[in-house]
Amino acid sequence: MTTNDTTDGAVSGENLDKLSTNLRKVDELTKRLTQVLTHRSTHNAALDGPNQELFTKAATAYWTETLRDPAKVLEHQLQFWSRSVTHFVEAQKTLASGKLAAPANPGPKDRRFANALWDTHPYFNYVKQQYLINADAISQAIDDVTDMDSQEKQRLAFFSRQIVDMMSPTNFLATNPDALEKAVATEGQSLVQGLENLISDLEANNGELIVKLADESAFELGGNIATTPGKVIYRNRMMELIQYTPTTETVHRTPVVLFPPWINKFYILDLKQQNSLVKWIVDQGYTLFVVSWVNPDAAYAGVGMEDYIEDGYLAAIREAKAITGEKQVNAIGYCIAGTTLTLTLSLLKQRGDKSIKSATFFTALTDFSDQGEFAPFLTDDFIDGIEAECADKGILPSVIMARTFTFLRSNDLVYTPAIKSYMMGETPPAFDLLYWNGDGANLPAKMAMQYLRGLCQRNELADGGFDLMGHTLRISDVSVPVCAIACETDHIAPWKDSYRGVQQMGSKDKTFIMTQSGHIAGIVNPPSRNKYGHYTHEDLNLEYEDWAAEATFTEGSWWPRWGEWLKKRGGKQIPAREPGDSSHPVLCDAPGTYVAVKAKP
């Protein structure tokens, strides 16, 4: 980055004028930004982070550790001081040499610091290495804390990591070489566009900063995503029921009813033809029904889990049976819909209702005794904040959930896209998965608290039973044939916790498949991609570590294996069924109307 030769990228007089003009635009946009923030909507402060009690306990525990073992604490402090001073001296030597040569040891690799200047330029390399030294020191300090409850320590580690990630030099214009280079190359236009992007995101969410991850203008529901042909043949206050158009001359007699999670929208399973599980199931010769949940507003404040079961699960099963003339269906539940499918199966068992022939669970938790990475968000102070937010708004707004999920992967889903959008002025990519990720849904207040208090916090389904609809619902009541698919690197529904829940089910016929990758990519894994393999083992009495150690690995998608499992429970072949009947007229084309309703911040 030289400044004495315009042919080497220096700023000419003309370019300087353009830069000055753009910087004046930045000043004008700043006023607009102030206006947005002045009128921003508010939410309960408890949702922004842990209360001071956590940090007070951490400070007390650290002080106790210092008194108990001062040598250990001083050793770590001296290591930090030594590394910092040594780093400063080495940087001074490099500068004194008058050469902008790469340091002998540029430091560890980190994809945030991909620009060559982080290694070759003394200023940027100094900033990077000192940041990494500071991050290591904070991590070590937390590791040193022993006189603290394990859950509180896990929470302290999580929020400390959030602070460390937030303070990365890549997140600030003055210490981000990519952003600085682009600002010069575009005469400041990238900064103007970045500020426009920031203000647009704030305005779209009433002042809440939710980074837009995808170019929304690039997608149209029913146009280039969610395009599998089908018809909405039933609608009530909770859901639209889609029956998909057959692609085979004959189909299995027993229909399939798929329940997606209502935290997000169903079309994650129908993004495009190449990776659509919906299309794949239809192509295997099944009459497929998919529930598309309503996106609730404040009018749904009193809607609970019982309403999702009564007007969702039981209604969809009833209508699917009526249309097909069958007595049973094969049911699928994904994520929270799998948890609720377990509740439904227990309810039907206690009622003596055999409407469900088999159950498939995608990344579903039924035993919440190990809360995994969500533990920091399931303590009373945070849940109390959610309860107050629900009481105020009648819903748990989708932006709150989106923020929680994204900060589990803050570098990938918050800071990196924010840098590209706000500092580099780039348009978000036309990426269907990220578009879906940003198309969230609200949760009714009552349902959200039933789920968070009763299932997540108190683990009632696995520990004594979950009281609902006049019954005490238990995992052990599940007695139909079960196939569960969990994902190896799932941070939302860890596979070992899913496995533990399946172990407690009362079914004599149980299959467990662990696929590679995470909560979404592990499920949306078509055979044509041949990307992720899967693990199987028949003995589900093993502890999860032993199951994994002894499991057989198979290359490729789990879809065909599950397809063979489902085929055995699908019944004989009959002529294909067109959507609807005389009692179920077609209401509209798939993907329907409920899916198109955006969550209002």
All domains of the chain, ordered by start, with CATH?
A: 40-185 (no CATH), 230-375+424-571+580-596 (3.40.50.1820)
Q: What is the C-alpha R_g of the chain?
A: 27
When pLDDT is averaged across residues 151-171 and rounded to a whole number, the result is 82
CA distances from 164 to 171, 272, 412 (A): 11, 38, 14
- Given the DSSP bridges, would you call strands 288-293 and 329-334 parallel, antiparallel or unpaired? unpaired
Poorest-confidence range of 86-95, 391-400, 549-558? 86-95
**Most confident by average pLDDT, 56-60, 79-83, 349-353:** 349-353
CA distances from 330 to 95, 113, 148, 256, 451 (A): 70, 49, 48, 5, 25
Distance CA 142, CA 65 (A): 11
Bridge partner residues of 443 (DSSP): 396
Q: Indicate whether 474 pLDDT > 90.
A: yes
Provide the pLDDT for residue 314.
98
* Long-range residue pairs from 552-558, CB within 8 A, at least 24 positions apart, any chain: 555/530, 556/527, 556/530, 556/532, 557/515, 557/525, 557/526, 557/527, 557/529, 557/530, 557/531, 557/532, 558/485, 558/513, 558/515, 558/525, 558/534
Q: What is the mean pLDDT of residues 134-142?
A: 83
The answer, yes or no, to whether residue 6 has pLDDT greater than 90, is no
Residue 61 pLDDT: 52
The larger pLDDT score, comparing residue 134 to residue 155, is at 134
The alpha carbon of residue 408 and the mean position of all alpha carbons in its chain are separated, in whole angstroms, by: 8
- Tell me: pLDDT of 593 over 60: yes
Averaged pLDDT for residues 435-444: 92
Q: Are 560 and 539 in contact (CB under 8 A)?
A: no
CA 14 to each of CA 7, 26, 489: distance values in angstroms, whole numbers, following the listed order: 14, 19, 52
Residue type, 446: K
Mean pLDDT of all residues in the chain? 86
Cβ atoms < 10 Å from Cβ of 509: 13
Residue 53 pLDDT more than 50? yes
- Spell out a b/e string for 480-496, using b for 16 or more CB atoms within 10 Å of the CB, else e: bbbbbbbbbebebbbbb
Q: Of 256, 253, 271, whose CA–CA distance to 483 is shortest?
A: 256
pLDDT in tens, 235-245: 999 999 999 99
For 246, other C-beta atoms within 10 Å of its C-beta total 21
Give the tokens for residue 261: 């999670």
Q: Which residues, other chains included, contact 291 with Cβ-Cβ below 8 Å and sequence gap of 6+?
A: 239, 240, 241, 242, 257, 258, 259, 260, 266, 312, 316
**487 annotated active-site:** no
Cα gap 79→275, rounded to integer Å: 51
**On the CB side of 134, how many CA atoms lie within 13 Å of its CA?**
15
User: Worst-scoring range by mean pLDDT, 20-29, 105-114, 527-536?
Assistant: 20-29
> Per-residue confidence at 7, pLDDT binned at 50, 70, 90?
very low
The confidence band for 65, taking pLDDT boundaries of 50, 70 and 90, is low
Q: What percent of the chain has pLDDT over 90?
A: 57
- Residue 434's Cβ-side half-sphere holds a number of Cα atoms within 13 Å equal to 18
> 534-536 and 552-554 as β-strands: parallel, antiparallel, unpaired?
antiparallel
Is 118 a residue whose pLDDT tops 50? yes
**Per-residue pLDDT at 10 exceeds 60:** no
pLDDT class of 363 with cuts at 50, 70, 90: very high
- Where residue 552 falls (left for φ over 0; alpha for ψ -120 to 50; beta otherwise) is beta
Q: Look at 96-110, 177-191, 371-385, 450-464 and tell me which has the smallest mean pLDDT.
A: 96-110
pLDDT of 64 reads 53
Q: Which tens digit of pLDDT belongs to each residue from 553-582? A: 999 999 999 999 999 999 999 999 999 999
**Residue 250: its H or E element:** strand 250-252
pLDDT given at position 507 = 97
Nearest Cα to Cα of residue 305 among 466, 476, 497: 466
What one-letter code names the amino acid at 113? Answer: F
Q: In what order do the strands lie in the sheet with 552-554?
A: 552-554, 534-536, 510-515, 482-487, 356-362, 329-334, 256-259, 288-293, 239-244, 230-235, 588-589
Average pLDDT rounded to a whole number, residues 535-544? 97
Confidence bin at 208 (pLDDT 50/70/90): confident
CB 378 within 8 A of CB 492: no
Of the two residues 559 and 59, the one the predictor is more confident about is 559
pLDDT grade for 376, boundaries at 50, 70 and 90: confident
Closest CA to 241 of 319, 180, 351: 319
For residue 253, what pLDDT is reported? 98
| Closest listed residue to residue 424, CA positions, set 115, 68, 88 | 115
When pLDDT is averaged across residues 76-101 and rounded to a whole number, the result is: 62
Separation of alpha carbons 282 and 250, rounded Å: 11
Q: Which residue has tokens 């083992």?
A: 537
User: Catalytic pick from 335, 390, 456, 483?
Assistant: 335
Confidence label for 219 from pLDDT (cuts 50, 70 and 90) = very high
Q: How confident is the model at residue 44 (pLDDT cuts 50, 70, 90)?
A: low
User: How does residue 95 score in pLDDT terms, banded at 50, 70 and 90?
Assistant: low
pLDDT for position 99? 63
Cα torsion 488, 490, 496, 501 to 10°: value is: -130
Instruction: Give the model's confidence band at 508: pLDDT under 50 very low, under 70 low, under 90 confident, else very high.
Output: very high
The arithmetic mean of pLDDT across residues 582-595, rounded, is 97
Helix axes 52-68, 122-144, angle to 10 degrees: 80
